[in-house]
Amino acid sequence: MMTSTVTLERKGDHIILLTLNRQEAANAFSLQLMDDVIQATKEINKMDDIRCVVITGAGDKAFCAGADLKERSTMNERQVVDAVHKIGQTVNAVEQIRVPVVAAINGVAFGGGMELALACDIRYSSDMAKMGLTEVSLGIIPGAGGTQRLPRLVGVGKAKELIYSAKRIDAHEAYHIGIVERVIPQQLLMNEVLTLASQIASNAPISLIQAKKAIQKGQEVGLTTGLSLEWMCYEATIPTEDRLEGLRAFKEKRKPVYQGK
């Protein structure tokens, strides 16, 4: 798939790269970009052979600069409300991709751009990237999940510090407080992300889907309910051919060949 604002590109047999393609606007969320991202997530979820998704921005300056404020300045209040709601829908659609999603944060990720990164399962960052939930400096608040996902990731106190101050942080501080899992030199970022994606994609696809479901849903409930959810997701792997293939491969000391069945 290729639209004016989003490209989908296969990287090997089981990995797909989704690139936000508005380099001239720092890959900001225009209405068209949001429509295209939502459509891309629908297409990805129909691809039975995809086991990992990588999301990045075009160029080397921006992952996603958040809302397109030029477009926003032409809107009335009702249109602004609708646009903010749509950013939330876009971010949620990315979070709900059924397989693991890795963000390759190749440049600035502010506001909605950081909220997009927070919706991914894993975040690798370029050493040149900067990020932050900067909305209160613009007279608004994070409205696409930032006030909910950031505290769950870094703790309430640190999230309040970042959101109330609208502070922009560099990749190393983001790593230190747990927003990103790794910081990588810019020119090596995509290679490292694709290496991780390949490691993920080598595993049993049904297991990946069920593990993601157990983690995501478990974050929303208490421990007892979470443990029940985990068992339900585990049970879904028991009747699969892939589980038997994993056992055979272990016994035969070879690499398993998973079919997603």
Q: Which residues are catalytic?
A: 67, 112, 115, 135
Q: Which amino acid is at 223?
A: L
Q: Are 54 and 110 contacting, i.e. CB atoms less than 8 angstroms apart?
A: no
Tell me how far apart the alpha carbons of residues 54 and 49 are, in angstroms, rounded to a whole number: 15
Find the helix or strand (DSSP H, E) in which 136 lies.
none
Terminal alpha carbon distance of the chain: 26
Q: Are 105 and 125 contacting, i.e. CB atoms less than 8 angstroms apart?
A: yes
Residue 59, CA distances (Å) to 53, 125, 179 in order: 19, 14, 22
Tell me how far apart the alpha carbons of residues 29 and 90 are, in angstroms, rounded to a whole number: 9
Q: Torsion over CA of 99, 172, 68 and 11, rounded to 10 degrees? A: -40
Closest by CA to 56, choosing from 126, 2, 146, is 126
